[in-house]
Structure 1
Amino acid sequence: GQCLCGKVQVTVSEKPLTSFPTLCCHCTNCKRRSGGIASYAFTVPKQHVSITGSTHKSYQDPDTGSGKPMTRTMCTECGSPVCIIEAASPEDRCLQYGLFAGEVELPRPGVEFFVRDKVGWVN
């Protein structure tokens, strides 16, 4: 996968990507970060993930529902969200679906977070 401008490349060594757990988060921060109604991601063990590109940067988000900060990464050139690393599971990488848009079919999320904040018309 890649960011919008192509300067950040993401490779998952274990295939298929759709065999990994999926999640959808409806929290306010994920909505703001994704620019959409939710954030959708594949949860992949870090040993199967390679992220390259000089514009790949991290942001420490202290304002989380769990109270534990998380690392959010993005491309500083185009602004595409790339990855989330949660304090509770530092061995996993939550890779944003948009990186792989057009490459993989979007499966139904395995788990949803902050469902109480879900946009009303989303079923």
Structure 2
Amino acid sequence: MTDKTNYAARPEGTQPWIPLGGGSKDGYNDGKEATATCFCGDIQLAFPVTKEGIKGTFVCHCTDCRKVSASMFATNFTVHSDDLRYIRGADKVKTYAQSKTIVEGNTMTNYFCPNCGSLLNRISSGTPTLNYVRVGAVDDLRLHDTLLKPEVEQFVDSRAKWLKPVQGVTQAHGMEYWK
């Protein structure tokens, strides 16, 4: 039997069985929108869960994504800024922006929780109407395997040599897939 204390409380009409991670206890997917929450639960975003709402999904091996994620790559999805909304914590969000290591010379602004440090999304000055949201922040883990499965793996020349290419995913040397 599953211990239901390890799953989010469900708002009326939402899908069940969203496993909890960190301090969040109220992530949801109602079939129209789903949530992404920081590790402590202070900041929560909502985004559309339609193919039309998700503009792209990708694994990125660029040196910026490696450094900002403190990992070997980042897994992201892109959503139009008008389709991303804060449920809570907008007043708490901190930003950090820089452009010195971005391949295309654009300024990337990172939006993160000042309490737990979770990076939730990024915006590039080159594509200011798009948000690059971290898949790992999405509360409904089933979306990681379905709607948010990567379409492309980019900056593959920067991929750690011990990592293998993602099977069935377009391999790109830079951002040419999105142009």
TM over 0.5: yes
The answer for unaligned runs of 5 or more in structure 1 is none
Q: Are residues 1:109 and 2:150 paired?
A: yes
Residue identity in the other structure for 2:120: V
**1:59 aligns to what?**
96
Q: Deviations over 1:15-59 (max 9, x none)?
A: 247962102211122112112111111100111101341331111
Higher RCO (CA < 8 A, seq sep 6+): 1
Q: Are residues 1:83 and 2:117 paired?
A: no
* Aligned-partner Cα distance in 2 for 1:39–1:101: 17
Q: Are residues 1:100 and 2:135 paired?
A: no
* Aligned-partner Cα distance in 1 for 2:99–2:140: 32
> 2:144 aligns to what SS in structure 1?
coil
State the Cα RMSD in Å.
2.0
**2:161 aligns to what?**
120
> 2:85 aligns to what SS in structure 1?
strand
Q: 2:84 aligns with which of 49, 54, 58?
A: 49
* Aligned-partner Cα distance in 2 for 1:16–1:62: 32
Q: Are residues 1:73 and 2:111 paired?
A: yes
Give the TM-score normalised by the residue count of structure 1. 0.87
- Give the stretch that moved more between structures: 63-72 or 19-28: 19-28
C-alpha contact 2:45 2:85 (8 A) present in aligned 1: yes
Q: 1:9 aligns with which of 36, 40, 44?
A: 44
The answer for unaligned runs of 5 or more in structure 2 is 1-35, 166-179
Give the TM-score normalised by the residue count of structure 2. 0.62
Count of paired positions: 122
* Aligned-partner Cα distance in 2 for 1:84–1:120: 26
Residue identity in the other structure for 2:39: L
* Aligned-partner Cα distance in 1 for 2:160–2:53: 27
Identity %: 27
